[in-house]
């Protein structure tokens, strides 16, 4: 029971991190960056392939590589699409996501690459007769730390203020002196860093990295930001968390019927959207055209 | 033309795509057996792109849910025509609900049933989904696809589950498929120039002004959704009778993105755009496939490494969007080039 709750929280936290990465980018340029999953994938590959280095070095390389990919993604593709209909941007990001998947397949091969990253994090310990896996505790702790750090960054720093302002109203923010190019690049780099964090946690749980590694979590995080309310970062994180918790709870409760967990999840999503189309944290009915 | 899409009946708009499609099919059908199969599959895909054009192109609302209707159409048509002994004896299907086993009709009745059922499901889901707009609508339609896929993939009482349903009878004559498509083009064209079609495009251009003119966004979107659900179901049905097997995996993410990208690359606002996108992506894919296999193309052999085909297609797609985000045709319908006198 304790393990189940811990699993639910850790999965929720993980999805919240992924949703936050998507939400940051959406906030500054109304882009649902589907290729975020491929940032997670490249981070996971880097972690697995640099396993011979000390953990800190490996993580550092991963963060740098992933942020660089995110930065270049914006510079080469999305910068040219700025101001285009959001639907087109979404489709373009699907395209980019496919490009990256195929490129990974070409470079790393279709078969999964795996390595045990941070072996001291696997295994279990027991408190009062309850067996608890170390990785779930670490995930919860890590997620909380990262979310707190992100919270500090977004709420207390100048960059965070600009990000929030841009998310609320990009045009007005620009008029008030927010530098668009710099801010958008910063958002992408941040989303790259978040993707590295997500990848680190994922790799501990499942070290088999294939070209489609980040796809599933991205879809679910995407669902999360929409039900949470895409126009605020808090909503995005909350939505991601909810999706993770629901999915984890379904997996525990459904027993043999767990193959249908996704059906129930999507069904819940449909209901939430019909009741609150703007997301759980939305106040009024805003019209957003995608 | 500032806002793409038609208002008046025009012969060249209608017969342009019809002529191009007919001529292409005529030549490709007799070129070689592999090109014939490619043509047949491409015709089925085009039916799907046309279905997307009706809804996505005219309403400007993305739908990831049309894969469900194609899946449903394909499933219904496949199950209604597969031999009874396959359904009762094939290992994978042992758990099938018994009332499904004796059902057996001919291909064309099955196609009609699959189209009608898909339209019905589109209507029922549309009543809920069409209340949403924007990103919420995109995710909700995606949820529809997710639910459909999840159920059909895992439920072995309903159908083959994750396995393939073999021995579905096939349509070997390409022209039967072509005629179905031509009829569909005709009706889509009529819809696009009809009052509903024009109202729907009005809601795409300005979701604030259109209701002010007395247009119910919900109603016009629902009409288009049902019609496009019907076409998507038909496309799935046709596909299953070309491929000869039904497999749930054929109608998931890859299928959805491929058909949507065909529509967007060609130009989503017109039938001509849907056709150009389908021809272009299918054509490029086929040429690259031949290059990968080191086959001669018009007598010239250019080899490319295995696996690079998919990369090139995806890169081309992204480049195309960067170059022209409203599609190659810019959403215009077919028209003959005009020569201006200087």
* Domain definitions of chain B by residue range: 11-255
Is A96's Cβ below 8 Å from some Cβ in B? yes
**Integer Cα distance of A32 and B30 in angstroms:** 44
- pTM beyond 0.90: the answer is no
Residues of chain B whose C-beta is under 8 A from some C-beta in A?
Answer: 60-62, 128, 131-140, 142-144, 146-147, 150-151, 154, 207-208, 257, 260-261, 264, 307-308, 310-311, 314-315, 317-318, 321-322, 325-326
Task: Check residue B7 and give its pLDDT.
Answer: 63
The interaxial angle of helices B253-266 and B308-323, nearest 10 deg, is 40
Enumerate the domain spans of chain A: 2-118+130-215
- Residue with the bigger pLDDT between B23 and B85: it is B23
Banded pLDDT at A206 (limits 50, 70, 90): confident
Task: Check residue A282 and give its pLDDT.
Answer: 67
Is A107's Cβ below 8 Å from some Cβ in B? no
Interface probe with B: pick from A31, A75, A94, most Cβ of B within 10 Å: A94
Task: Check residue B222 and give its pLDDT.
Answer: 95
What mean pLDDT comes out for the span B99-126?
91
Indicate whether B4 pLDDT > 70: no
Quick check: A254 and A264 in contact, CB under 8 A? yes
Test A95 with B317 for CB contact under 8 angstroms.
yes
- Residue with the bigger pLDDT between B302 and A156: it is A156
* Nearest C-alpha in A relative to B131: A274
**Integer Cα distance of B245 and A236 in angstroms:** 41
Indicate whether B92 pLDDT > 70: no
Condensed to tens digits (0 to 9), the pLDDT of residues B42-63 reads 999 999 999 999 999 999 888 9
Indicate whether B5 pLDDT > 60: no
Banded pLDDT at B3 (limits 50, 70, 90): low
The complex scores an ipTM of 0.83
Is A280's Cβ below 8 Å from some Cβ in B? no
Indicate whether B283 pLDDT > 60: yes
Chain A residues close to B318, C-beta within 8 Å: 77, 92, 95-96, 99
Test B150 with A32 for CB contact under 8 angstroms.
no
Q: Is B305 exposed, middle or buried (0-12, 13-18, 19+ CB in 10 A)?
A: exposed
* Å between A155 CA and nearest CA of chain B: 26
Task: Check residue A288 and give its pLDDT.
Answer: 47
Residue whose C-alpha is closest to residue B193's, from B35, B29, B333, B300? B333
Lowest-pLDDT range, A56-70, A85-99, B1-15, B165-179? B1-15
CA B141 to chain centre: 16
Task: Check residue A60 and give its pLDDT.
Answer: 94
- Residue with the bigger pLDDT between B154 and B11: it is B154
Test B131 with A98 for CB contact under 8 angstroms.
no
Test A99 with B318 for CB contact under 8 angstroms.
yes
What mean pLDDT comes out for the span A262-271?
88
């Amino acid at each position: 029971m304790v393990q189940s709750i811990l699993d639910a929280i850790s999965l929720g936290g993980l999805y919240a991190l992924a949703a936050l990465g998507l939400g940051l980018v959406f906030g500054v340029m109304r882009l649902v960056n589907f290729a975020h999953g491929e940032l997670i994938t490249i981070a996971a590959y880097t972690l697995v392939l640099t396993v011979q280095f000390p953990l800190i070095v490996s993580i550092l390389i991963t963060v740098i590589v992933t942020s660089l990919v995110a930065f270049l993604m914006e510079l080469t593709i999305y910068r040219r699409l700025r101001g285009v209909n959001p639907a087109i941007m979404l489709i373009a990001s699907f395209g980019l996501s496919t490009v990256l998947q195929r490129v990974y397949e070409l470079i790393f091969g279709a078969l999964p690459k795996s390595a045990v990253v941070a072996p001291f994090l696997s295994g279990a310990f027991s408190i009062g007769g309850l067996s608890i896996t170390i990785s779930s505790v670490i995930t919860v702790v890590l997620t909380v730390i990262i979310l707190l750090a992100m919270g500090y960054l977004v709420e207390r720093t100048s960059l965070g203020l600009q990000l929030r302002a841009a998310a609320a109203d990009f045009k007005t923010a620009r008029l008030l002196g927010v530098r668009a190019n710099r801010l958008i690049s910063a958002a992408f780099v941040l989303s790259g860093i978040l993707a590295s964090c997500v990848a680190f946690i994922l790799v501990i749980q499942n070290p088999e990295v294939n070209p489609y590694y980040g796809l599933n979590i991205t879809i679910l995080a995407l669902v999360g930001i929409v039900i949470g309310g895409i126009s605020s970062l808090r909503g995005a994180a909350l939505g991601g968390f909810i999706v993770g918790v629901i999915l984890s709870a379904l997996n525990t409760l459904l027993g043999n019927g767990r193959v249908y967990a996704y059906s129930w999840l999507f069904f819940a999503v449909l209901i939430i959207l019909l009741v609150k189309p703007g997301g759980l944290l939305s106040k009024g009915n805003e019209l957003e055209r995608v | 033309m500032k806002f793409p899409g038609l208002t008046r009946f025009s012969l060249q708009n209608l017969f342009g795509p019809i002529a191009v499609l007919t001529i292409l099919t005529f030549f490709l059908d007799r070129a070689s057996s592999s090109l014939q199969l490619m043509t047949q599959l491409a015709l089925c895909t085009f039916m799907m792109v046309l279905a997307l054009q009706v809804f996505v192109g005219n309403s400007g609302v993305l739908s990831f849910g049309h894969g469900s209707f194609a899946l449903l159409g394909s499933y219904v048509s496949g199950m209604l025509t597969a031999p009874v002994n396959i359904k009762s004896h094939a290992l994978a299907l042992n758990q099938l609900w018994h009332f499904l086993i004796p059902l057996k009709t001919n291909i064309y009745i099955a196609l009609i049933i699959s189209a009608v059922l898909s339209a019905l499901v589109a209507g029922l889901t549309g009543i809920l989904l069409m209340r949403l707009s924007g990103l919420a609508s995109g995710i909700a339609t995606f949820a529809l696809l997710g639910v459909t896929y999840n159920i059909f993939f895992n439920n072995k009482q309903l159908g083959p589950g994750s396995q393939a349903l073999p021995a579905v009878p096939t349509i070997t004559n390409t022209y039967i498929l072509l005629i179905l498509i031509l009829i569909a083009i005709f009706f889509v064209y009529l819809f696009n120039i009809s009052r509903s079609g024009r109202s729907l495009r009005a809601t795409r251009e300005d979701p604030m002004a259109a209701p002010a003119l007395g247009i119910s966004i919900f109603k016009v979107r629902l009409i288009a959704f049902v019609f496009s659900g019907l076409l998507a179901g038909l496309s799935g049905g046709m596909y299953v009778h070309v491929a000869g097997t039904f497999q749930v995996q054929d109608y998931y993410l890859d299928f959805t993105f491929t058909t949507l990208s065909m529509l967007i690359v060609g130009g989503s606002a017109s039938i001509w755009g849907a056709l150009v996108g389908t021809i272009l992506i299918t054509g490029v894919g086929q040429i690259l496939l031949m290059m990968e296999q080191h086959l001669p193309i018009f007598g010239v052999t250019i080899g490319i490494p295995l696996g690079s085909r998919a990369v090139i297609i995806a890169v081309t797609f992204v480049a195309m969007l960067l170059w022209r985000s409203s599609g190659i045709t810019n959403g215009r319908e077919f028209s003959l080039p005009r020569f201006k006198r200087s």
